[in-house]
A and B are shown apart, each in its own frame.
Chain A
Amino acid sequence: MSGEMVAVDYYIPLIMFLIIGALVPIGALAAVKIISPQKSTFRKRSTYEGGLRPIRDAGVQYNVQYYLFAIVFVIFDVEVLFLYPWIYVYASEAIPAVGGVSIAITGMLIFIVVLLIGLLYDIKKEALRWV
């Protein structure tokens, strides 16, 4: 190992952080286990030690339609995500026009049209209608 840093070396603090981060909670839990008195009663084992009575099962059912909405949302989230760097590239004129046609604009247009077709598909297939 010579003195020069390679890319992985920059991660050494991160790795140390991960190790310490893993050790601290384990140590804390172990310390509690060793030091504290172990007296298990009914109240102690219930969900809320403060005395609140749990009223029903923890497994709550969500409507599966949320899933479709979430997917459509993610698609347009990603679109915005793409638009930001595109604006930067477009403004700095990093991508030249070829034959009078701006590649940056055409590329983004194609991208948006593809998304629009997807949206149209969702609407026609009634993915966005709440039943």
Chain B
Amino acid sequence: MTATDRSAGLAGRASARPASPRPVHSGRAARTRRKWYEIIALTGPAAIVFTLFVLTPIVFAIYYSLYKWSGYGWPTEFRGLDNYIGPYGAFRDPIFLDGLRNNGIVIVGSLVIQGPLAIAIALLLNRRFRGRAVFRLLVFIPYVLAEVTVGIMWQLILQPSGTVDALLTDAGLGHLITGWLANLNVVLWTMLFILTWKYTGFALILFLAGLANIPDELTEAAAIDGASWWQIQRHITLPLLGPTIRIWMFLSMIGSLQLFDVVWVASTPAVRSLGASNTMATYMVDHGFNQREWGYGNAVAVILFVISFLAALLFQRFVLRRDIEGAQTRRAR
């Protein structure tokens, strides 16, 4: 159906062309037409899927977000922007704002802790030594585990009188024991610790790949010129690793904004609803489904989408641009 519409439109455009005053080489017109067929054939399926499963849901989410809707029957109670900025809207709900703040803390925390940690380990693992493969594997394993598995695992390790508490007691640090998942002032930092444990391996693999792309000649030349290992890392390796680091920052940031599974599994509904560990995504599901505020849940989804979208745009515009341009010029040649 859609394909027919498209080719009809195309035929219309193609037949309109000869009407232009300049005589057209038939070969060139055919080539143009073929080019368009190719574009449609190659992008069509993806475009249809994208429209159906990405664009349409976004439009629907925006539509639903303007209603008070329990999920039974179609939405009928129009509320305008109340779900966003009304007296009971998201931006007036302290628990949603807590979630927004928690997302912010996770973004900054991930960048500040995982980045330097992974770079340090990558530089270390980039040197040749016995057992390097084993070490790489060990750091990467947490990333391979499913989020839900990780959440349950840490929930068990961190439970009262669990492994962590026992280790601390044995080490004479028993006074440090707290409700890792219950103390409202601690639980977000516990989440950040779990995320660091899990995602440092991902950053590491990216950085190792980036390091492998740095030609040995450069470091060798520097070494011949008398540069120390530290100088080589500081002035050659790190600058050349820049594009990889920036891409990782982007992925980490978007991942942190959409953070859901680990928090959902490892922290209880009570702790989330008190604003201690919730993120925008867990808040959305807690309200949209569990509290049956479907219209409101959609409003939160739209807010989350807009924030992620803006963050992605700004980051691409100001940070990633030179990396992407470089890639394009290289391909053009």
Q: Do A and B bind each other?
A: no
Binding site for B on A (CB under 8 A): none
> What is B's interface to A at a CB cutoff of 8 Å?
none
